[in-house]
Amino acid sequence: MNIRTLISSLFLTIGASTALAGPVMLDAKLDSASMLMGTLNTLRLEVVQDKGTKGHFPLFEKYGPEGILTLLNDSIEIGRPSKIDTLEVGSGRIQINYELPLQAFDSGVYRLPEIAYASGTDTSRSKPLLLTVVPVNVTANDSIAPLTDVADAENPSVFDKIPDPVYNYWWAFLLGLLIIAAGIWAWIRYKKDGTILPAKPETPPYEQAITALRQLKARKLWESGREKEYYTELTDILRRYLDRRFGIKAMEMTSNEIMSHLADVDNQDVPREKIRDILDMADFVKFAMVRPLPDDNVALYRNAVDFVESTRPAPQADNAALNPPKNKEDGDGNNGVNAGLRGRRKRKDDSAERISGPRMKVGKSNKKGRPSGNDGKEVKR
């Protein structure tokens, strides 16, 4: 036999062997298409191929250090093959059977993906499988021995003990705690101070009175013939000042009562007569319908300013002036009123017909500039 004939025979043998080689076939099935959550099931893989053919499952490359691979977002766990059998099926072909333990820890219906088997340049795929996982409804008397214990976490952490709702929505719980804490703080502050917002610093009585007097002057009430309104506001400014500066509840008192309480103030430098002039004129205007002359209005306004300026507390006494003691036992006695303990001093009350100080012209002016009051005469204070 020559060399050409030998080579032709060899190629014919190889071609015949290739023609007889069968395809690789793969089948997958489950022992049960329905299982209880946490119990074991078996995934069976059957590979039929020619003898001597080598192949592998790419899926097996995903096994972790503990020999477990997961599918469908960790809902299904598959262990390493627990058993591998090889059988001859004739015609030079073999069948390899794989048994893989399978578990599921979440109830539901799952569609297992196709499983691939690579052999040389050929790749076979199994059909997808449906698996129903039934939840376990147990009571205190049910035995759960057949169920598999829950596996420990690979990297345990203290956060594993936190419930999932708290772990996933920690910011909502934190916000709720802050709201509760703010509510408790607001309630305590309201019970203590009667308000939640911090109180604005109170204006000292001197500054409040001076500002009110300047605003009253700027309104030019008596210049426009509104003398009654002018003296009402002028006396109200002084009454508020006496209340805050000396603790005299002047807003609720008559003119005589104000002077009686003002006489109880131990400070001898208080210009009481300036207050009396203003109160007397105010009574005349409001009750006797008397219209004072412009000079009287200017002079009494100056009396009000002088009274406030002369009774202005020293800078170090500003805080005490804002909260004047009502009794001598409550303060230093310089600005307080001892009306409660010492009693009201008896004093001869000047009549409303008397106006202290220099002579004051009262009444409407006639065209010649002379006063024309009730009887057209000057009235002594």
Q: Which amino acid type is present at position 135?
A: P
Q: For residues 247 and 53, what is the distance between their CA atoms, to the nearest angstrom?
A: 112
pLDDT beneath 70: ranges in the chain: 1-21, 138-154, 268, 315-381
pLDDT score recorded for residue 7: 56
d(CA 70, CA 62): 8
Beta strands in the chain (DSSP E): 25-30, 34-36, 40-50, 68-71, 76-79, 83-90, 93-104, 108-112, 116-119, 122-125, 129-134, 364-365, 371-372
- Nearest Cα residue to 272 out of 257, 262, 282: 262
Containing H/E element for 35?
strand 34-36
Separation between Cα atoms, residue 157 and residue 134, nearest integer Å: 30
**By the 8 A CB rule, do 336 and 330 touch?**
yes
> Residue 285, class by beta-carbon neighbours within 10 Å (0-12 exposed, 13-18 middle, 19+ buried)?
buried
pLDDT in tens, 316-350: 544 544 455 444 333 343 333 333 323 333 333 33
- Residue 69, strand partner residues: 78
Q: Are 24 and 119 in contact (CB under 8 A)?
A: yes
Please state, in angstroms and rounded to a whole number, the distance separating the CA atoms of residues 274 and 161. 81
Report yes or no: 307 and 275 within 8 Å, Cβ to Cβ: yes
Q: Tell me how crowded residue 374 is: count the other CB atoms within 10 A of its CB.
A: 11
Query: Which helix (DSSP H) or strand (DSSP E) does residue 14 occupy?
Result: helix 3-20
Q: What is the predicted pLDDT for the residue at 243? A: 92
- 263 is written with which tokens? 């006489």
